[in-house]
């Protein structure tokens, strides 16, 4: 165990003015509070905060950070309190300790929810003081180093959490050495066989190429020195996990990797970096496509360096990273390398965002993630927003936008502004109109096309790659859905009020809402529109509020109920339905069903109906029961008619192995192989294509309408989902009557009104 004076000496080695009294006080307090506590390894618990403090001294952090490293578990694991820490050590240290303390005694229903809430609290604390993150990463690093003493299942969970959250956070802050160690420690637990194979290969490679490494190091040093550049050349070996990731990403064998060992050339200035590149490129042959200038355009985590690959001595590829001493220090220690954090002055915290692009970017991302997002989405969006490699794109005016790899124009639009994303209808990429599903590449110039009347469809959630975009889309979809539900609920209520010949004032509306278990008029109308409150419940509540005596009709139901209380009915030879009987029928339906002849075939209207579609039965006087799909336009005319609305369900027990025709439409990029791609996607879902109509609606796009055969709604949903995931397709949907009629007539009746189509969607 490190002694008290040894810790102080480690801090004083890089900070002669260290607050020795503060460090001694924190050491003694933490040791007393943890007392006889033991870790899973059997060691005294105090060893852990002491090792965390030691890791922080390696990063050369300020006195307050070292003290927090000693105290970080006291509030969570001992009888220490936030107030006590505040009183003894001051508000600054107490605030950081509080940011590191897990949320306790929350009424959470799952481990994921608890993890999300703890991560949310941690990120909010990080956005106020970056030292919270630095101490947390040191804490996690020591826990990972001693993970072998935990149960196997706990090892897996902690390693996965480290790989998903903490290692990428270290990378986001430019702390590459810490990221590599966290990833390798997690990789060893999660993929032990792969870890063993790669580490053995690396050991063999280093031994085999020792002479070559020495030769390259010596030759680079001598040749650059002759040009007046004094370099420091050092070989570096890729981490096992980075090698594994590259193998997975490029689908290649371990033996095919040529850059497991690279070289860093560290020179005196930025100007010498470019001189070095020029000399190297004129001395050795360059491998095409392997030059990257991160000095001109730094990475989001402040990383700056020039990367290039040459064909060096012995005709082997040599990967080089050329940078200055300062760039090298930031590449290894990231945000911890900024001297700004080392004086412990909270007054300087306001300048962090200006000093560090990485921290400023992190704070902006955190503000997006913590603005009202639900716990169930928070972890997913955090991983999307914070933890992906990036591409750099430009607006037409030259503004640089950093996005995660795999981002689309939708993400670009939301990165500019939420309103731009909500009203985005298309995009020009490098001057060409391309689908919104197109993945962006570094250097692309993106222009967003907008329509102020447009609102994002729900399928954009599966296309967007950033947490900000997904959160905004889900919020917009929810708002649009609520607006539609509100309008529908208002229509239903007005029809009921008109039928009864009554009106509601504000007070009665509030009473009606409370009667239905809602907080206000808007909430209960939305619930009615969403189907959460049925018309019968609404009618009963309205009758109670207005004092209306309900009129009842005498029931005379047939006795031919099936076992489950539903009548089995047949629509010609295609469909089998059930309608409610006995206790399953509402009062209105019972009265209507009393006059129904159950031996008369049911009439079904509407093209393209498949088993599983939501249905409603309409019973008119002296007319057989007519079944409509719930989206049928014909139902609009029935709202005010003298008809009975009957609940209808599919007769699942009588389902037969048949195929039913239906129609789907989509827009496709005009390119070779697009029709084959669509056909293959439909075939992969075991659906059959009966007919096809297609039309060029612009030089770049076709509209395609397919008549396909499916077993039921589940298979149709699978087809639609598969098509939506296919690159180059957009506006994938189940076709309406207009498109269906095109299939039946094989004729087009004029140019499609795209704005009208958009409104329908």
CATH classification of the domain holding 298: 3.30.460.10
Same domain, 586 and 532: no
Measuring CA to CA, which residue among 59, 140, 130 is closest to residue 102? 140
584 within domain boundaries:
yes
- Is the Cβ–Cβ distance between 493 and 525 less than 8 Å? yes
Residue 563 CB coordination number (10 Å): 6
3-class state of residue 581 by DSSP: coil
Residue 267 resides in a domain: yes
Domain shared by 587 and 647, yes or no:
yes
Last residue of a domain, one of 304, 336, 368: 336
Which pLDDT does position 49 carry in this prediction?
A: 92
> Residue 500: inside a domain, yes or no?
yes
Q: Please check whether residue 486 lies inside any domain of the structure.
A: yes
Domain with residue 433: its CATH number is: 3.10.20.30
Which are the contacts of 416, defined by CB distance < 8 A and separation ≥ 6?
Answer: 395, 401, 448
How many domains is the chain built from? 5
In a domain, 400, yes or no: yes
> Domain boundary at 625, 654, 683, which?
654
Same domain, 258 and 203: yes
Query: Does the residue 683 lie in any domain?
Result: yes
* Separation between Cα atoms, residue 172 and residue 334, nearest integer Å: 9
| In-domain check, residue 555 | no
Q: For 112-122, what is each residue's pLDDT tens digit?
A: 555 555 666 56
Catalytic (active-site) positions: 76-77
pLDDT at 119: 60
C-alpha to C-alpha distance for 751 and 88, rounded to whole angstroms: 77
Residues 206 and 286 in one domain: yes
Q: 444 near 424, Cβ under 8 Å?
A: no
Secondary structure (DSSP) of 691-740? EEEEEEEETTEEEEEEEEEESSHHHHHHHHHHHHHSTTEEEEEE--HHHH
To which H or E segment does residue 324 belong? strand 317-324
Instruction: Kindly calculate the radius of gyration of the chain based on its CA atoms and give it in whole angstroms.
Output: 34
Output the CA–CA distances (angstroms, integers) from residue 507 to 346, 420, 501, 526, in the order listed: 54, 40, 18, 18
- What gap in Å lies between CA 401 and CA 445, rounded to an integer? 10
Q: What dihedral angle (degrees, nearest 10) is formed by the CA atoms of 629, 633, 636, 641?
A: -70
Of 402, 160, 260, 264, the C-alpha closest to 168 is: 160
Among 620, 638, 654, the domain-final residue is 654
**687 Cβ neighbours under 8 A, 6+ residues apart:** 708, 709, 710, 715, 716, 719
d(CA 331, CA 351): 21
- For the segment 237-256, what is each residue's pLDDT rounded down to a tens digit? 888 888 888 787 777 776 66
Token pair for 632: 């049928």
Query: 225 and 255, same structural domain?
Result: yes
Looking at the structure, tell me whether residues 230 and 249 fall in a common domain: yes
Q: Which two tokens stand for residue 365?
A: 């991302």
Regarding whether 530 and 459 lie in a shared domain, the answer is no
In a domain, 687, yes or no: yes
Range of the domain at 629: 566-654
Spans of the chain, pLDDT less than 70: 102-128, 254-259, 313-314, 336-390, 549-608, 621-624, 631, 633, 636, 639-642, 647, 649-657, 736-761
Which runs of consecutive H residues, i.e. helices, occur in 345-501?
352-355, 357-369, 375-386, 409-416, 418-422, 467-500
Strands 432-434 and 424-429: antiparallel
* pTM of the entire predicted model: 0.51
Check residue 346 and report its DSSP letter.
Answer: G
Residues 223 and 330 in one domain: yes
């Amino acid at each position: 165990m490190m002694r008290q004076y040894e810790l102080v000496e480690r801090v004083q080695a890089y900070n002669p003015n260290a607050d020795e009294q503060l460090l001694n006080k924190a050491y003694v307090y933490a040791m007393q509070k943890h007392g006889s506590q033991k870790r899973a390894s059997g060691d005294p618990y105090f060893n852990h905060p002491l090792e965390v403090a030691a890791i922080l001294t390696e990063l050369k952090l300020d006195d307050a950070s070292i003290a927090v490293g000693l105290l970080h578990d006291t509030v969570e694991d001992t009888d220490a309190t936030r107030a006590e820490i505040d009183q003894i050590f001051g508000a600054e240290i107490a605030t950081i300790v509080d940011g590191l303390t897990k949320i306790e005694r929350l009424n959470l229903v799952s481990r994921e929810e608890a993890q999300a809430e703890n991560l949310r609290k941690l990120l909010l604390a990080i956005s106020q003081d970056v030292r919270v993150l630095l101490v947390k990463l040191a804490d996690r690093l020591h826990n990972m180093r001693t993970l072998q003493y935990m149960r196997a299942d706990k090892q897996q969970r902690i390693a996965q959490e480290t790989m998903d959250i903490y290692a990428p956070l270290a990378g986001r802050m430019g702390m590459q050495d810490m990221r590599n160690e966290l990833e390798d420690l997690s990789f060893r637990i999660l993929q032990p066989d792969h870890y063993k194979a790669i580490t053995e290969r690396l050991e063999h490679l280093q031994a085999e190429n020792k002479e070559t490494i020495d030769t390259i190091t010596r030759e680079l040093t001598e040749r650059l020195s002759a040009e007046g550049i004094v370099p420091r050349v050092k070989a570096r070996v890729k981490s096992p996990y980075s090698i594994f990731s590259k193998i997975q990403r490029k689908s290649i064998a371990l033996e095919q990797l040529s850059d497991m060992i690279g070289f860093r050339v560290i020179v005196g200035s930025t100007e010498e970096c470019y001189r070095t590149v020029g000399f190297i490129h004129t001395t050795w042959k360059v491998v095409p496509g392997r030059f990257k200038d991160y000095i001109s355009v730094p990475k989001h985590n402040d990383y700056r360096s020039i990367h290039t690959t040459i064909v060096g001595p012995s005709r082997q590829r040599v990967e080089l990273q050329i940078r200055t001493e300062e760039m090298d220090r930031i590449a290894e220690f990231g945000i911890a390398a900024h001297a700004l954090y080392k004086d412990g002055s909270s007054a300087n915290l306001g300048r962090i965002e200006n000093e560090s692009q990485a921290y400023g970017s992190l704070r902006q991302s955190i503000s997006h993630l913590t603005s009202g997002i639900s716990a169930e989405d928070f972890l997913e969006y955090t991983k999307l927003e914070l933890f992906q490699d990036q591409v750099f794109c430009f607006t037409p005016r030259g503004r640089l936008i950093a996005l995660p790899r795999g981002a689309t124009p939708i993400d670009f639009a939301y990165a500019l502004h939420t309103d731009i994303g909500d009203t985005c209808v298309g995009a020009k990429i490098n001057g060409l109109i391309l689908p919104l599903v197109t993945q962006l590449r570094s250097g692309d110039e993106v222009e967003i096309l907008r329509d102020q009347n447009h609102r994002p469809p729900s399928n954009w959630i599966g296309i967007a790659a950033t947490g900000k975009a997904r959160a905004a889309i889900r919020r917009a979809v929810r708002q649009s859905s609520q607006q539609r539900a509100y309008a529908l609920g208002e229509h239903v209520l007005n029809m009921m009020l008109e039928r009864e010949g009554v009106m509601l004032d504000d007070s009665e509306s509030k009473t009606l809402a409370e009667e239905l278990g809602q907080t206000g008029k808007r909430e209960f109308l939305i619930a009615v529109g969403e189907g959460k409150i049925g018309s019968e419940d609404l009618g009963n509540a309205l009758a109670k509020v207005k004092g209306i005596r309900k009129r009842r009709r005498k029931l005379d139901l047939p006795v031919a109920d099936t076992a489950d209380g539903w009548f089995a009915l047949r629509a010609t030879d295609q469909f089998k339905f059930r309608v409610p009987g006995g206790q399953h029928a509402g009062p209105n339906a019972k009265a209507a069903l009393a006059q129904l002849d159950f031996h008369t075939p049911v009439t079904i209207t509407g093209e393209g109906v498949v088993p599983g579609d939501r249905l409603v039965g309409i019973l008119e006087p002296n007319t057989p029961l007519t079944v409509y799909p719930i989206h049928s336009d014909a139902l609009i005319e029935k709202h005010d008619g003298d008809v009975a609305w009957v609940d209808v369900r599919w007769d699942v027990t009588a389902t037969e192995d048949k195929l039913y025709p239906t129609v789907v439409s989509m827009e496709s990029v005009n390119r070779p192989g697009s029709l084959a791609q669509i056909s293959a996607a439909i075939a992969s879902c075991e659906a059959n294509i009966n007919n096809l109509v297609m039309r060029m609606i612009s030089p770049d796009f076709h509209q395609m309408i397919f008549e396909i055969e499916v077993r039921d709604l589940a298979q149709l949903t699978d087809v639609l989902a598969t098509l939506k995931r296919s690159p180059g397709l957009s506006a994938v949907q189940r076709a309406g009557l207009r498109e269906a009629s095109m299939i039946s007539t094989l004729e087009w009746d004029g140019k499609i009104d795209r704005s009208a189509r958009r409104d329908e969607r």
